[in-house]
Amino acid sequence: MAICSQYEHSCFDPYKAKHIYCLPIEKAGDGIIDCLGGQDERLDNYCSSKYSFDITRRYRCLNSSLCVRLDDVCDGHAHCPFGDDERLCPWRNESKCKNGEFACWHENKCLEKRRRCDGVQDCRLYEDEWYCDLIPKRTYKPFLLDTAYSQYPPIDTELSKSLIYNDIQPKIDVRSNITEDLSYVSYCNRGIFIWSKHSGETCLCSPAYYGDKCQYQSERLTVFLQLQVPLSFRYTIFKILFSLFDRNNSSNILSSEDIIHVPHIHSVSYKHIVYLLYPKLRIATNSCAVRIDLFIVSRSEVELKLSWYFNIPFAFLPVNRLVKRIIYVPDHNESTCSITCLHGKCQNFINNNQIQHCLCNNGWSGSACNIKVGKISCVQGATFIHNQCICPLRRLGSDCQLELDFCHNIICQNNGTCISLDMKNSHPRYVCFCPEGYFGDDCQETAAKIIVRIDNIFYPLSVLQIPIVAIHVVEIYDDAHIMLTQERYIYRNVKFNSEITSIYDEKKYFRNNFIYAQLFFNFNNINDRYGSYYLIVLIKQQAITKLKTSILASDRCPYINELLLNHTIINYPFMKKVKFYHRACYIKGIRCFYDETYMCLCDLDVGMDCLVFDHSAVSLDALIGADIVNELSFIQQSSSVQITLTIVTLMIFIGFINNSLSFLTLLRPKTQEVGCGFYLRCICLVSQFSLFIFGLRFAYLLVTQFDLWTTDQYKLSIGTCITLEFLLTILPSIYDWLTVCIACQRTITVVKGAHFDKTLSKKRAKYVVLFVVLIVILSSLHKPFHRHLINDPHSANGHTWCVIKFHSKRLEKFDTCVNIIHLVVPFLINSVTTCIFLSSLTRRKSDLLRIKTSEASYKSVLTKQIVLYKSFIISPFLIVVLELSRLILSFVFACIKYPWQKYLYLVSYLIFSLPHTATLLIFIIPSQTYKQELKDCMMNLLGYLKN
């Protein structure tokens, strides 16, 4: 090895083997290769530019544009055109190493390829690491917001002056003047020891214990309760009454407690804990139950809203618990109450309509309010219930006579309103309802706000305003490597060159936030499904109370296909395509992009991180609902809405006539001689019921999208969504399988001929129909449990969608398999049975006529059989054609990527119901027997109408 000065470096002569010399530094990077592998010309970045995705291809071949991998150098194979990659190790020819292995110089040692350039000296002269310095050293750099991004926007921000919170109160040493005496620590067991001159030593016991030293445990029921109320009731005060009562006598209250619930301070996950004590002489083990009454209270009145009834599990336990979560439904319609209450009114429980109870008037008791008791004087505004007074706010006591105001010395800042709560509430005993933009116990904190201006966005001149703008605030946690959506604000009909203000609810600062805007124009392009995304704010470690930014065209997050540009890569399967996403970050100015699943960010070091987005499955809502505009009348709606409604109305009307005539025809005695008639009667009923449900489903869509249902009617909406979608799933499948039963029976009739038992076929048909219905229902029984209602921010009209979402891949695959079976198997059976039907008839006729089974004679017999039995062939043929169209549309367009596919799916959705409207045309008219019976039925019907 040559020893070179600091202005030279050692170099392998490309033309003289084993010759190592010192190359002057001025010859490095002169464009002429003086060293093997182009080591002196490494700065021209030729190999790194040509093979940017293979960092080991850095050995440049002589007189060639090829660069080879460094682990291929000296491996016994010539990879360069002139073999100069093996010239570096001339001793390799004398080595006994196998091809593909590296041979150490002056050593009998062979190395595997993986040990080349691994940073470890395996050969004595370090020759296994020669030229490895050409490989760039890469270090992993994590995707971190605070180091990988610059603050955006850099101006128009008001930073908080300090992040130091002065909430630490001075410590007070309460023990300084107290003489500790540990002898009384265990005196009261689970209670608190007190001493006074009058009563001496006394123990204060918790509700769970009793006795002079709290030594006995009370038999009790601990109730854990969560209450969920609509967001519109956030500033409403609720009072919850818990009652432990005797089921044999509902007026016999064994124990009761009431608490205050304030949605403003009690979140959905907040748990109220209440003790209900059993009496010392406990009644029968299983005769107790819990009643929960919910009231809305104010300073002037108390209004009973709803009641719940709960049995106590494992009621024999002396110490038990009950954990429940209840939902307040404002517009709940009570069922009819049947029991008689002499001096009171009857009321149902919201969770159990079978159990009813009497709410007795003041001075009456008993299960029927028939027992007179002493009257309790409740103050005006209080409500008498279960022999006790429920007090309004600022009132307490058994008769609510005592007035206590916790707001008398409280000042809620920034025009907040103080509401006095209850003495039972240790914290807080009051609450300040703050105006928008303020929060805190006394409304002393100003909420962070973001002002967004919409400027310089490319849009059609015909669009005067943006139908919907969504602002998403995502907080980023570097330590946990997660990004969580904290807030989402929706704005409708936003004008261009205007400003919108979003209040960061109960947050004083924006900190470590990623904020983006989502604009929906409803343009007819692929991006219409997700709108247009704009990255508008990137906040690092600073805490910002007020932020002003703009939605600019340069902030747009493009769709990934716009950035890849290579059609081959674009058409790759997703798992292969996603490997090229990092290329999008190489494009100058790109800070974010998205696809059908992810929203991705690009940092300053061309790193990438992606967030998962969820886009739900296709239903009638998704196909036509987005086109409905609730501010417009039906005449002003889009043509797709008008045409769909017209088609649905005609299908229901025509289907009702066809199915009614078919059913009346099939009631005649001659059509009931075999089991096929029973199948057809069932098909008529299923068809009509399916059309009725289809009409209801479309009506439900119109009602929800025209805002004729309020969001408070959630229970009715989700119930309708689940029921209608489930029926629309199973009814077409039942219809398809019943057509299979008809096709099979007709084929069996031909195959058996005179041996066919008509009576047995009628008997078996009933069991087969029952079996088909059960199998279809059981195979789809998982779907109702995964139906959800979502408020879609993608729609300018605030649509509510009925969607299905599975929480496991296994269940999703099962559902796919079930759908394929219900689509493909009936289609195949109908096709196969039709072929068997014709083949059996033709073969039997050929044998009967003793025709030689040549091709021509067989064809002639087959043609005659088709003409003769066309009534039996037309029905399965029409069904096969309709099912084939459904199959093609279902599998070819499994995912909607373009707007025109949506309308093809809509056609497919209507085709699902088309056979249900044409029972008369498919099964009755093609058959001469059924056709004659139809004529007789219509004559009888006309005669009946004339009379």
pLDDT at 868: 63
Q: Which residue has the tokens 């240790």?
A: 426
Q: Rounded to whole angstroms, what are the CA distances from 459 to 309, 425, 532? A: 57, 56, 11
Nearest CA among 660, 815, 667, 686 for reference residue 738: 686
What H or E segment, with its residue span, contains residue 575? Answer: helix 574-577
What's the pLDDT tens digit per position in 138-157? 555 555 555 555 666 654 44
Tokens read off for 776: 């279809």
CA torsion angle for 7, 12, 14, 17 (degrees, to 10)? 140
Q: How many CB atoms are closer than 10 A to CB 501?
A: 15
The answer, yes or no, to whether the previous bond of 153 is cis (omega within 30 of 0) is: yes
SS3 for 514?
strand
Task: Tell me the HSE value of 21 on the side-chain side, using a 13 A CA sphere.
Answer: 11
8 A C-beta contact, residue 287 and residue 258: no
Low-confidence ranges of the chain (pLDDT < 70): 1-2, 17-18, 53, 137-185, 282-285, 331-335, 423-427, 456-463, 476-485, 504-506, 508-513, 522-529, 540-542, 612-641, 701-717, 788-803, 807, 844-912, 947
DSSP 38: G
pLDDT at 87: 84
Categorise residue 369: left if φ over 0, alpha if ψ from -120 to 50, beta otherwise: left
Tokens read off for 761: 């076929």
Task: Tell me the HSE value of 582 on the side-chain side, using a 13 A CA sphere.
Answer: 9
What H or E segment, with its residue span, contains residue 607? Answer: none
CA torsion angle for 820, 825, 830, 834 (degrees, to 10)? 130
pLDDT at 679: 87
Q: At what angle do helices 870-892 and 809-849 cross, to 10 degrees?
A: 150
CA distance 99 to 493: 72
DSSP 242: E
Q: Rounded to whole angstroms, what are the CA distances from 104 to 57, 134, 504? A: 22, 20, 67
Task: Look up residue 931 and give its amino acid.
Answer: K
Categorise residue 376: left if φ over 0, alpha if ψ from -120 to 50, beta otherwise: beta
Q: Rounded to whole angstroms, what are the CA distances from 870 to 470, 644, 746, 878? A: 60, 34, 13, 12
8 A C-beta contact, residue 464 and residue 454: no
> Whole-model pTM?
0.47
Nearest CA among 885, 807, 890 for reference residue 618: 890
8 A C-beta contact, residue 343 and residue 243: no
DSSP 907-941: HHHHHHHHHHH-HIIIIITTSHHHHHHHHHHHHHH
Nearest CA among 756, 711, 739 for reference residue 833: 739
Dihedral (CA of 323, 329, 330, 335) sign:
negative
Nearest CA among 501, 513, 564 for reference residue 539: 513
Q: How many CB atoms are closer than 10 A to CB 891?
A: 11
Q: How many CB atoms are closer than 10 A to CB 408?
A: 10
The answer, yes or no, to whether the previous bond of 207 is cis (omega within 30 of 0) is: no
CA distance 13 to 58: 18
Tokens read off for 15: 């033309």
8 A C-beta contact, residue 14 and residue 36: yes
CA distance 478 to 146: 8
**3 state SS for 87-155:** CCCHHHHHCCCCCCCEECCCCCCEECHHHCCCCCCCCCCCHHHCCHHHCCCCCCCCCCHHHHCCCECCC
Residue boundaries of the structural domains of the chain: 8-107+121-134, 188-216, 218-403, 404-437, 445-612, 620-626+635-940
CA distance 316 to 695: 52
pLDDT at 631: 43
Tell me the β-bridge partners of 383. Answer: 390
CA distance 660 to 652: 12
Task: Look up residue 140 and give its amino acid.
Answer: Y
825 CB-near residues (< 8 Å, 6+ apart) = 740
Nearest CA among 45, 42, 85, 40 for reference residue 62: 85
Domain 620-626+635-940 CATH (choose: 1.10.10.10, 1.20.1070.10, 3.40.50.300, 1.10.287.3510): 1.20.1070.10
8 A C-beta contact, residue 919 and residue 683: yes
Q: Do you know the residue count of the chain?
A: 947
32-70 in b/e form (b: 16+ CB < 10 A) is ebbbbbbbbbbeeeebbeebeeebbbbbbbbeeebbbbb
8 A C-beta contact, residue 679 and residue 762: no
Tell me the β-bridge partners of 550. Answer: 453
Backbone angles phi, psi at 372, to 5 degrees: -85, 130
Nearest CA among 522, 516, 520 for reference residue 534: 516
Nearest CA among 310, 257, 312 for reference residue 282: 312
SS3 for 838?
helix
Dihedral (CA of 776, 777, 778, 780) sign:
positive
Q: Rounded to whole angstroms, what are the CA distances from 603 to 104, 136, 174, 429, 563? A: 44, 21, 54, 49, 16
N-terminal to C-terminal alpha carbon distance within the chain:
122
